[in-house]
Structure 1
Amino acid sequence: MQLLTKWLGKAKRGGIVAAAAAMSILAAAAATAKPAPSGVFARIEASPGFPEGIVLHGNRVFVAGPASVGAPGTGPSEVAIFHARTGAPLGTIPIAGEDLSAAHGLRGITTDGDGNLYALSSQLGVVRLSRHGNDWAQDVYAGPLPDLPLCSLSKGGEACSPGSKSHAAMPNDIAFDEDGYAYVTDSLQATIFRIPPGGGAPEIWFQSEALAGYFDLVGVNGIRVSPDGARVFFTVSFCAEAPWEGRIFSLPRKDAPAPSDLKVEHVFDGFEGPDGFAFGETGELHVALAGSNQLAVVAVGKGELSRLALPETSAIPLDAPASVAFDGRGGMLVTNQAHTTGNADHFAVLRVRTSDTGAELFQPRIE
């Protein structure tokens, strides 16, 4: 395993003692500062930019990027670290082992009960990052998702994709259940993979044409396990059969759900592009709408309740919001991916004030 950490501030490169001192000063200042207000929680550097996955653990916020799958020749993907109360930058974790001469990126991210991070790399698979003092060790928890042939062209008996167009795998979001299984969405192959507790090869958990996106648009996208652990919820951003519709589906959490188990929980009309989401404390879904640059609150079985908004004074507007996470302090953090506009000034984590503290993610202990 490699130790990888890049600290921000005035510490010189390679100066571990100086970096640790700078880190301590930042942390101490952040601990006594006031919570970040609604609006801009933290800005994301233009390189790598395009932030997507976000997760909180303790007093740290971790943000993964770039979701754009960086062009050949750009720097490594990374996880940016911020203080959960103030948004103060606390450093970055660059991803090692990527072929920087080829397209590369980082999307979904989650954590286990020990604070280890699990980030989805387009090249490497599920990368696990384990903290060791002021450094992070990196290893591969699960290998890359396989590129599946179309079922319509397969020879029979082999794993295949039920979509209508051939695509390489596109790992997008990841979520643990209480037993330590990790669920990973593949946005271009109409597939949800499952990784066994402790890691290993991704296994096909569920496939359906209903999970396919229209042409080259994103299909199955964000994923979370319901707070009671009974069902797995996920979004499909632009449905193949009706691209103007984005849908929220759920399946029972069992080893082999059948197509008849698939349940439509909500439909968004008008190319709103539901992306990542989080469960509120009483089970409502707080959904990032990347297509319409909005945030929706949906009650399962009852429909949409409201839309959340940034204050008019916010220096950055919602621009293709991708993932959301509650901060437990009356706020919801939103990654502003800006993938359509490409406006680097909009790369940020935004904070929206809510009265909901959110449901806790499943963070199992992984042996």
Structure 2
Amino acid sequence: MTGRRTGVLVLALVASCISGAVVAAPGAVAEPVAVDVPLEYGQTRDIAVVPLPGQPEGIAVDPEDGSMWSGSNRPNSSADVWHWDADGRLLETYSLEDHVPAEHGVNGITLDGDGRVYALDYSGARAVRIDPATGVHTVYATFANLPTCEGGAGIPCEPSPVDRPAWPNWATFAPDGTMYVSDLNQATIWKVPAGGGAAEIWYQNADFASIYSLNGMQFDAEGRLNFVVTVSLTPDITSIFRGVVYRIALNSNGSPGPLEKVAVVGQADGLAIGSSGRIYLPISNPFDNSIQVVDPMTGSVVADLPAVVERVTRSIPYSTPASVAFRGTSLIISNHGLLVIDPHQWAILELGVGETGLALNYPKGLV
């Protein structure tokens, strides 16, 4: 088992080095496209090619105007947040203030009901709030670097044998304005109180400890928090080295209820839930560039979109899609392009899926 884990880690490190080595990218955005005609099921169109530093991660869609937000996760670069209009015209670029170039940049992106944008920044392990109306950046939340739990009892710790820094990766709001944030390194789901501040540990599990741990999250129609572990390292032949979708119901006092295993999937990154309850997962394995669709009632993967030929031969091939968000009956996708040497593949794509998304929570009045 140790050798196989080492192999996965080496692959991840090589991929990171390759992605960081790309030094050229087009300075233009893709030509705007008309988006008023819904896509057919499984059909893809290009929305935008992202500018330097490229490598988009995180995606959010404004429910009012259909505009789109994403950010650069490019290593050792500025942490830029981009805002496009609904047709893919770049409106504004925000470079996160006080970002120190690091192993990663921007990860998750989410919105509140007052038009503010929240970007998770690896540097400083923080959530930065951007007010587009004023351009002001503020640190909304911070995430602690936890020691391993093997170091002793009685202190907050991470349930992992390896001590790694916090990596806030995905954020989603609850109806009361509490923000839940997955930690890709520390096998932890954090809770940020409405209004921000230091994040609190909400749920941890040693089964989540991994090279790539907790990732995309969303509340379902029953109020359960659904999330994915990108690479499971639990000694279970059905799920080891694969992605696993879980969910947790919230007790009346907001504490976590029992953990439920929903499905075993590919090495998934983000997560979005359709109005039917189906779960859509971009697969971050660079050898399986698809969007998997899960029926949570059966735990089955019911579709891999788009067709394999389409993923490979289209104008912008699918390349480690990282994050998804619904707009109409489509998914908007950040085409992360982890291993690409053609920066044209750092792009925002749209995929028709034939249903609308389950509404996200957009709290208002967060101070």
Normalising by the smaller structure, the TM-score range is 0.7 to 0.9
Give 1:227's match in structure 2, choosing from 212, 221, 226: 221
1:354 Cα deviation after fit: 2.0
Shift of 1:363: 0.7
| 1:298 counterpart residue number | 294
For the residues of structure 2 that align with 1:300 and 1:33, how far apart are their CA atoms? 30
Q: What is the Cα deviation at residue 343 of structure 1?
A: 4.2
Q: Which residue of 2 aligns with 1:126?
A: 127
Q: In 2, Cα distance between the equivalents of 1:346 and 1:340?
A: 10
> What's the secondary structure of 2:149's corresponding residue?
coil
Q: Counterpart of 1:290 in 2: which secondary structure? A: coil
Residues 87-236 of structure 1: pairs in structure 2 closer than 5 A: 87-100=88-101, 102-103=102-103, 105-124=105-124, 125-132=126-133, 135-143=134-142, 145-154=143-152, 156-213=153-210, 217-228=211-222, 230-236=223-229
- 2:10 matched to which residue of 1? none
For residue 53 of structure 1, the aligned residue among 52, 58, 78 is 58
Q: 1:83 aligns with which of 82, 85, 99?
A: 85
Residue of structure 2 equivalent to 1:13 = none
> 1:25 — aligned with what?
none
Match of 1:39 in 2: 45
C-alpha distance 290-33 of structure 1, shift in aligned 2 (>3 A): closer
- Name the residue aligned to 1:274: 268
Q: Secondary structure at the match of 1:274?
A: coil
Q: Is the 8 A contact 2:335 2:346 kept in 1?
A: yes
Mapped to 2, the partners of 1:340 and 1:185 lie a distance apart of 24
C-alpha spacing 1:93/1:304, structure 2 compared with 1 (3 Å): same
1:63 to 53, 64, 70: 70
Q: Give the counterpart letter for 1:235 in structure 2.
A: V
Change (3 A) 1:247 1:309: same
Q: Does 1:284 align with 2:278?
A: yes
Q: Distance in 2 between matches of 1:267 and 1:146?
A: 30
Whether contact under 8 Å (1:227, 1:279) holds in the other structure is no
2:169 is matched by which residue type in structure 1?
A: N
Distance 1:96 1:240, change over 3 A: same
Task: Give the superposed CA RMSD.
Answer: 2.4
Deviation string 1:314-365 (CA, Å, 9 cap, x unpaired) is: 311111111101111x321111112234542211111111211211111111
Contact 2:233 2:241 in 1 (8 A): no
Q: Note the alpha carbon deviations across 1:113-165, whole angstroms, 9 max, x for none.
A: 11111110112401011122xx421111112x1111110123x2111111121
How many angstroms apart in 1 are the aligned matches of 2:147 and 2:123? 18
1:268-312 CA distances to partner (integer Å, 9 max, x unpaired)? 2xxx21110111012111111111211111111222221220683
Between stretches 309-318 and 330-339, larger displacement belongs to 309-318
Q: How many residues align?
A: 320
Q: Shift in Å at residue 33 of structure 1?
A: 7.4
Deviation at 1:108, TM superposition (A): 0.1
Instruction: State the distance in 2 between where 1:43 and 1:31 align.
Output: 12
Distance 1:247 1:78 in 2: 30
Q: Distance in 1 between matches of 2:168 and 2:34?
A: 38
Distance 1:277 1:174 in 2: 11
Deviation (angstroms), 1:256: 2.6
Bigger shift: residues 278-287 or 332-341: 332-341
Is 1:324 the counterpart of 2:324? The answer is: yes
Inter-CA distance 94–273: structure 2 relative to 1 (3 Å threshold): same
Output the amino acid matched with 2:50. I
SS in 1 for 2:270: strand
Q: What TM-score does the superposition give when structure 2 sets the normalisation length?
A: 0.81
Moved >4 Å (runs of 4+): 29-37
Name the structure 2 match of 1:348.
347
Letter of the 2:145 partner, please give it: D
Structure 2, unpaired ranges of 5+: 1-26
Q: For 1:276, what is the secondary structure of its paired residue?
A: coil
State the percentage of identical aligned residues. Answer: 30
